[in-house]
Amino acid sequence: MNRQLLDTYKRLLRRVFPFWRRLVVAVICMVGVAGTAAASAYLVKPVLDDIFVNRKMEMLQPLALAVLVLFIVKGVCSWGNTYLMSYVGQRIVAGLREELYNHLQDLSVAFFDRTPTGTVMSHIINDVNQMQAAVSDSVTGLLKDCFSIIGLLCVVFYRDWQLALIAVVVLPVAFYPLFRFGRMLRNTITRTLQSYGNLSVIIHETITGHRIVKAFGMEHHEKRRFAEENQRFFDHTMKSVSIRALSSPLMEFLGGIGIVCIIWYGGYNVITGASTPGNFFSFLTAVIMLYEPVKRLTNIYNTIQQGLAAATRVYGILDTPSEIRETPGAAVLKPIRKGIQYRNVGFSYGDKRILSNIDLNVHSGEIVAIVGVSGAGKTTLVNLLPRFYDVTEGAICIDGTDIRQVTLSSLRSQIALVTQQPILFNDTVCNNIAYGSFGKPREEVVAAARAAHAYDFIMQMPKGFDTVIGEQGVRLSGGERQRICIARAILKDAPILILDEATSSLDSESELEVQNALENLMKGRTTLVIAHRLSTIQNADRIVALAGGSIVETGSHADLMRTTGEYRRLYELQLSQFDSGSTP
């Protein structure tokens, strides 16, 4: 076992320690199960010799009663062992799943940029479930079978130590394929889990993007793509099944060789009078019972390898640090008073340079619009403010304080965000508006909806504010979804507002209503606006034009239109599109 797997297994075992009391009782139950199994093999000799050979009537009742008691004790111990170990396993896995989910919530936006959603879901659901069998079922079986092996070996050596040596010689030979197949299975399972993650990615993409798939007639392509990955998953799965299926018959064959030797040698001793039939059959019963737990160890070992492969992937996520970290002893950011300062800010995503030499002062209460062609860096510029990403050069300050020196919660509590793509949850309208502000009374939720011009269409829904809107608000129109998001930002009442093309998905009528609400919302707030339609930002206090990741000009609409710079070029381009029939 390599160092990584050893560390993984140690980490799993550490999760077991908090449940040591239940484990102690479970181990006692396991010892009971193993002891009754050994006692059953031990009783074969007196049953055969005293009842069936010597026909002692006085032994009939006590031996029959002893067998009955053994089965009762075994049943009770087996139930206790199974229940307690299942409880421990389920609690460990539930805790691990919660820890994984919580860690994912703390990871930066960059992690989700590079990790498909389906892969993340596969880690939380499938990988953790794979670990459950390794943590609970396998540990239970491993301990129980080890105790059974010890107990039965005692019976075997007690009955005939010379004959026992013949049986035990086969065990090391039988264990060799166990470890050999285990390594093969672990590698196969790793590939199987990766393929399952790829399947999850395809399913997530095609279900969430089903309209695009149908609109572009790509059903056949997606079916083929899914079928190819599904076949790979099937091939990996069948390879692991083949390994598991082969290990058990091989163990039985090797065990059968040992039993044949035992029958030949033991039968010879009985025929020559060196042993009694009861002694031999008690020995043989113990040996046969001994090979069963040994054979089960093969499947247990395979299951453990499967769980370790899943655990390696899960701990790979848990060990992934967030690129966004709070500085030890970070201060709480006070409400903005002076403004926001971008000081020689640069940002690169991998090897790709996105922003360079950004110097920008946004005064408190000022409305600053950011314009530029697609890819100019507009969204990246505003995403740096709530620390979705960290600058790679320079610093962003609020009232002169570097935002990397304050707590994330205090920073983000001062920022409200409305994006181009409405983000809604499969919950009620009320809870979607109150998201992030659940403590506020319903009256304020209604007031926010009115301010966002959403109240009228909400009240026309079957249950009004208590209507469940479906995944991503599928039951609403695009304009309605956006107005719910704007109402959420209004309710948060944060001093800093980021509008990332918040009206670009609205029709002209909805845009007019929402624009009026946004103008009221922006009053007295420090606002950064990214606008696709330049006609909507003419009243901004200042307009910042980006090109190639740098600021090329700043000024009011009137000032910039008097120049021949980037803003005027973009504005006239949109105006010409409007004159030809397009919407600016």
| Packing angle of the helix pair 60-106, 20-46 (nearest 10 deg) | 150
In sequence order, what are the residues at sequence separation of 6 or more whose Cβ sits closer than 8 angstroms to the Cβ of residue 462? Answer: none
Any idea what the Cα angle at residue 18 is, between residues 14 and 20, rounded to 5°? 100
Element (H, E) at 526: strand 526-530
Q: Where are the domains of the chain?
A: 3-318, 424-493
Residue 472: how many other CB atoms lie within 10 Å: 15
Q: How many helices (H) and strands (E) does the chain have?
A: 20, 10
Residue 404 · residue 329 · CB < 8 Å:
no
pLDDT at residue number 583:
46
Tokens of residue 405, six digits: 């020196």
Residue 535 · residue 584 · CB < 8 Å:
yes
Convert the pLDDT of each residue in 342-401 to its tens digit. Answer: 999 999 987 889 999 999 999 998 999 999 888 888 889 999 999 989 999 999 999 999
Strands 542-547 and 550-555: antiparallel
Print burial letters for 479-501: b (CB count within 10 Å at least 16), e (below 16).
Answer: bbbbbbbbbbbbbbebbbbbbbb
The topology under which CATH files domain 3-318 is: ABC transporter transmembrane region fold (1.20.1560)
Distance CA 123, CA 131 (A): 11
Grouping H, G, I as helix, E, B as strand and the rest as coil, residue 261 is: helix
pLDDT at residue number 167:
63
Block means of pLDDT (10 residues each) for the chain, length 584 residues?
70 80 85 82 74 72 82 88 82 84 85 81 79 68 74 76 67 60 70 78 72 70 85 84 70 67 71 72 71 70 75 86 87 91 91 91 92 87 92 93 92 87 86 88 92 88 90 80 87 89 64 70 84 76 91 90 87 68 47
Residue 82 · residue 140 · CB < 8 Å:
yes
Distance CA 340, CA 120 (A): 35
Grouping H, G, I as helix, E, B as strand and the rest as coil, residue 347 is: strand
State how far Cα 566 lies from the chain centre: 45
Distance CA 152, CA 18 (A): 32
Grouping H, G, I as helix, E, B as strand and the rest as coil, residue 262 is: helix
Between 3.40.50.1000, 3.40.50.261, 3.30.565.10, 3.40.50.300, what CATH number should domain 424-493 receive?
3.40.50.300
* DSSP calls for 435-480: TT-TTS-HHHHHHHHHHTT-HHHHHTSTTGGG-B--GGGTTS-HHH
Residue 287 · residue 166 · CB < 8 Å:
no
